[in-house]
Structure 1
Amino acid sequence: MRNDSEKLHDIQEAIIKIDKYSVQGKEEFFSNELIQSWILMQLQIIGEAARSMSKEIHQKYPQIPWQDIIDFRNLLVHEYFRVDLKLVWRIVEKELPELKEQISLIIE
């Protein structure tokens, strides 16, 4: 079983993987199903890591929207037909950079 530190690294690694392809831009994201699938999978990994982390970590770092991350993971996994790619891109562009910074600070 993975510990909280490993799960934080999983989140960090998934964000780096998203960055690798999202840097190609919005137009490429919307036109390339492989990039969409790749990014959605990495967002699921982020959500799964957040979901399985201890309550202590969630309480210690309340600035991270743990429940929103978990809820989005549940949408991706269980209600994938409701996934709005515009929302996904907005998360990638606006929210992941901040999450990346917060996770890096925790890991340090």
Structure 2
Amino acid sequence: MSDENLVVLKKILEEMSIAHSLLGMHDVDSFMEDEMAKRAVCMTVINVGELIKNLDMDFRADNPEVPWRDMAGFRDIAAHKYQTLRMDDVYVTVADEFPSIAEDIRMICERAEGEDEARDDR
């Protein structure tokens, strides 16, 4: 994996962590009533999608366990159709789906870093 892809992956993980922390102790109902939280979480979702678009297409194809296309598409909806965006979908995505996706991305990073270490040992 290129160093650039690894840097982008780490930034994606940071943004996902920020989105999750912005949810704080909100349940879906309190999230729906908190305009600032909704806007902040949507911005981090946009950031994640934009970062994904900076990953090499071959890299994304080689790591199909992460729904790259869906996440980039969700960014487009959040950015361009914000007024029709279903905020409960945003909540579910960040609260329920981001943690497992982040774990998959962490595993990809660990594999890449392990490969780099193995190459350095040669």
TM over 0.5: yes
Q: Is there any run of 5+ residues in structure 1 with no aligned partner, and where? A: none
Aligned to 1:9: 10
Residue of structure 2 equivalent to 1:86: 88
- Corresponding position of 1:35: 37
RMSD of the alignment, in Å?
Answer: 1.5
Q: Report the number of matched residues.
A: 107
| Cross-structure match for 2:21 | 20
- Runs of 4+ in structure 1 displaced over 3 angstroms? none
Q: TM-score, normalised by structure 1?
A: 0.90
Higher Cα radius of gyration? 2
- Structure 2: gaps spanning 5 or more residues: 111-122
| 3-state SS of paired residue (1:89) | helix
Cα deviations by residue, 1:44-70 (Å, 9 ceiling, x for unpaired): 011011112101210111011111011
Bigger shift: residues 25-34 or 78-87: 25-34
CA contact (8 A) 1:10 1:45 kept: no
Per the normalisation by structure 2, the TM-score is 0.81
Query: Matched residue of 2:66: which SS?
Result: coil
